[in-house]
Structure 1
Amino acid sequence: MAKTILASTLALGMLVNVATAKEVSFKGKTIEWIVPYKAGGGTDKWSRFYAPLISKNLPGQPTVVIKNMPGGGSTKGANFFAKRASKDGLTIFASSASTQIPFLLGDKRVRYDYKNWKAVISSPTGGVVYVSSKLGVNSIDDLDKLSSQELKFGSQGATSMDLIALLAFDLLDIKTQPVFGMKGKKSTRLAFLRGETNIDFQTTSSYIKNVLPAQKDGRAVPLFAWGTLDDNGDFQRDPTFPNLPHFGEVYEKVHGKKPSGDAFNAWKTFFTASFPSQKMIMLPKDVSNDVVETYQNAMKKIVSDPEFKAMSEQQLGIYPQTVGEKADKLKSTATNVNDEDRKWIQNWLTTNYNVRF
């Protein structure tokens, strides 16, 4: 009798769980996707890759409209989302490293808190540093030739994703003159292609689509990729660019030893917070569990589609896409840094770029 009661109780519990997980239909609805950058950059291209897939796989096949909202190093769009996003799943946000870094640094422009948001997909990416062929450099083996040349680097700002590049250049003794005020990575890329700057980096999706043609026609020369981290936190070559050395290899080439020290440790902490979970789709504060689960299920359908792997590798590079609760856990990792590294970076930014916190 007791076993019968227990079995009935368990069955009832399962029915309750099923009943509480309601699929939300978006039939006839329009979803506004806030992208806090100009059109044409890496995050914009990533969003436009996913937009039709989200439309196809969400129940009711809603229209997904990208709304580009650049400004404030991406904080304008993030602040708008935090304040104005609807709680019915009709507003989503494209987070990127340039949104995460100001949050991690305590930038005074930040009016958003990642703890309030729910990530439904986390996309790692890489990046490639490249220079103008006019500098007479053919590969990383010619790195010493850059020491005598005037290098100009277009930047969105020292507290944006460009922090990773600016500190990396410092660690590698690559002297650059940053040209601040760029509205996004598209702007930095176009400045490079116009000859206004001569060193740049782009994330993988933008590099594949927009810089690779310039590399093939001899205008751009790739130096190195940032690389990826293995399960032990050690650098590995980027699988999308296996012929390019990673940052750790270049550091060792320049200094004759493996990377170490406070500056490198701080750089690696912010790199880890920026690239392994570089782009994420966020749902806003107070959105219902039904909406969250509906989005999670849609993202799982997308990445499990047999055709998705080939499409994503061609457009985004060879990186695993993380969905569901695992994506939200990666969000937590990407939006937390230890106080020691945060303070080191803040002091470095204040000393070198007069950034006040």
Structure 2
Amino acid sequence: MSAQQVTRAVGAAALIGCSLAATGAAAEGHGLDLAGETVEFVIPFSESGGSAKWANFYAPLLSEALPGNPTVVVRFMPGAGSTQGANWFQEQTYEDGTVIFGTSGSTQFPYLLNDPRVRYEYGDWHVVLASGTGGVAYLPADLAERFDGDADDLQGIDFIYGSQGATRLDLVPLLAWEMLGMSVEPIFGIKGRGDGRLMFERGEANIDYQTSSSYLSGVVPLVENGQAVPMMTWGALDADGNIVRDPTFPDIPTFKEVCEATEGCETSGDAWDAWKAFFIAGFPAQKMVFLPKGAPEEAIATYSAAFDAVLAREDFAELSESTLGIYPQMTGDLAEATLEQGTNVPDEAKTFVTNWLADRYGVTLN
């Protein structure tokens, strides 16, 4: 499937929502019986970030949908920006269907950039769910007074940002802020984006971004009490691959809009092309659930059907909107297409980002 076809598929999924799931087979009847079992849903991040909220949202619903109604327990395995947990999962082989793994864009980016710490191969795993998401950058109230839709008056301010690492999903905001001419100094080494939010709350950082689920639960209260003000979203993709406003936050401008309004920021050229390529790999294709290598078709079909059943629930849209936001949730062929989209970027974008990482942060990937 071409990149354009993938983009169209994901865009179509966003428009029709979870109605696709109604055509999926029920989880029963695929032969895998998990009665009395405990399924470990392993997340390679801390319990404070968006991946934790995503996994904790799905875990009880998946328990209800799987044959035998096993207990689904979320297990956190943070370290090295998720590569530690992903390397662990690579060593697992399928046994009885009681281990599944959840990834994020921060797992995909080191893979895309040939980070030497990566010892995992997405091609060995079996995707059973793919979730799109968005992200929101925000400022403290005093600095937000200087933001009026462009970043011109934010240039010259020394910003501090709590970061998991420049080769993780954080490269999307870091590159965006640099394109806007802002001076943002990352403090590397936090275990999850939730830890970055806590730095912001404590006044140790004066700029932050969160994926949609964490923003909804952790930052909206800060906005409501006047401690934080949204700056921009990364946007969403329409069916033609254009960046449009995020459907979960339609009143917040996108980075593309802010860039177009900011002197010196261009929405064309090498930097923009690289930013957009990694945005697409990291957000419309943001989170995925996998079975380990060696999983038989029976297990893949069982889990895919269970997630289909979750998505087909009459109350799913209501439940997910308040927790995850309004984004496509995909199984089957759409999940496979999303995996392809999230683990491939043009060589030109890789080269640009690799050179940028070396020049800006002294990060060499060889």
Deviation at 1:85, TM superposition (A): 4.8
Cα separation, 1, equivalents of 2:217 and 2:146: 21
Q: Which has the larger radius of gyration?
A: 1
Q: Where does 1:257-336 land on structure 2 (aligned, <5 Å)?
A: 259-336=267-344
Q: Is the 8 A contact 2:124 2:292 kept in 1?
A: yes
Which structure exhibits the higher relative contact order, with contacts defined as CA atoms closer than 8 Å and separated by 6 or more residues? 2
Three-state SS of the structure 2 residue aligned to 1:55 is helix
Distance 1:66 1:175 in 2: 37
1:223 matched to 2:256? The reply is no
Q: Return the alpha-carbon distance in structure 1 between the equivalents of residues 36 and 52 of structure 2.
A: 25
Equivalent positions of 1:196-275 (< 5 A) are 196-255=204-263, 259-275=267-283
The worse-fitting range, judged by mean Cα deviation, of 169-178 and 102-111 is 169-178
Letter in 1 for 2:159: L
> What is residue 82 of structure 1 aligned with on the other side?
90
How far off is 1:255 after superposition?
A: 3.5
1:344 aligns with 2:352: yes
Give the secondary structure class of the aligned counterpart of 1:215: helix
SS of 1:153's equivalent in the other structure is strand
* Contact residue 139 and residue 221 of structure 1 kept, 8 A: no
Structure 1 position 104 matched with structure 2 position 112? yes
Q: Distance in 2 between matches of 1:104 and 1:277?
A: 13
Residue 338 of structure 1 deviates from its aligned partner by 2.0
1:15 paired residue number: none
Pairing partner for 2:103 from 95, 102, 109: 95
- One-letter code of the match for 2:233? A
Residue ranges of structure 2 left out of the alignment (5+ in a row): 1-28
Deviation at 1:262, TM superposition (A): 0.5
SS of equivalent to 2:86: helix
Aligned partner of 2:135: which letter?
G
Query: Are the counterparts in 1 of residues 213 and 324 from structure 2 also a CA contact under 8 Å?
Result: yes
What code does the residue aligned with 1:254 have?
T
Q: Does the 8 A contact of 1:131 with 1:199 survive in 2?
A: yes
From the superposition, tell whether residues 275 and 304 of structure 1 become closer, same or farther in structure 2 (CA, over 3 Å): same
**Which whole-Å CA distance do the structure 1 matches of 2:330 and 2:163 have between them?**
29
C-alpha distance in 1 between matches for 2:325 and 2:116: 34
Match of 2:194 in 1: 186
Identity within the alignment, %: 46
Q: Distance in 1 between matches of 2:355 and 2:196?
A: 26
**Which residue of structure 1 lines up, in the alignment, with residue 19 of structure 2?**
none
Q: Once the 2 structures are TM-superposed, how far is the Cα of residue 57 of structure 1 from its aligned partner?
A: 0.2
| Residue 129 (structure 1) aligns with | 137
Distance 1:136 1:59 in 2: 50
Deviation at 1:87, TM superposition (A): 3.5
Distance (Å, rounded) in 1 between the aligned partners of 2:265 and 2:150: 19
Contact 1:87 1:288 in 2 (8 A): no
TM-score of the pair, normalised by structure 1: 0.91
Using the TM superposition, give the Cα deviation of residue 47 of structure 1 relative to its aligned residue in structure 2, in angstroms.
0.2
Segment drifting more, 127-136 vs 268-277: 127-136
The whole-number CA distance in structure 1 between the counterparts of 2:334 and 2:44 is 24
Question: How well do the aligned residues superpose, as a CA RMSD in angstroms?
Answer: 1.4
Report the residue type matching 1:127 in the other structure.
Answer: G
Instruction: Please tell me the residue identity of whatever aligns with 1:145.
Output: D
Cα gap change, 1:26/1:140 in structure 2, threshold over 3 Å: closer, same or farther?
farther
Contact conserved, 2:45 with 2:191, CA < 8 A, in 1?
Answer: yes
Aligned residues of 2:161 and 2:186 also touching (Cα < 8 A) = yes
1:35-73 CA-partner distances (Å, limit 9, x unpaired): 001102000000000000111100000111111000011
**1:219 and 1:70 mapped to 2: Cα distance?**
28
* Rounded Cα–Cα distance in structure 2 between residues aligned with 1:198 and 1:223: 12
Question: 1:136 and 1:170 mapped to 2: Cα distance?
Answer: 18
User: Please, which of 70, 73, 87 is the counterpart of residue 78 of structure 2?
Assistant: 70
Please state if 1:27 is matched with 2:41: no
CA distance in 1, matches of 2:297, 2:186: 44
Match of 2:170 in 1: 162
Q: Which amino acid aligns with 2:318?
A: A
CA distance in 2: counterparts of 1:43 and 1:171, whole angstroms: 27
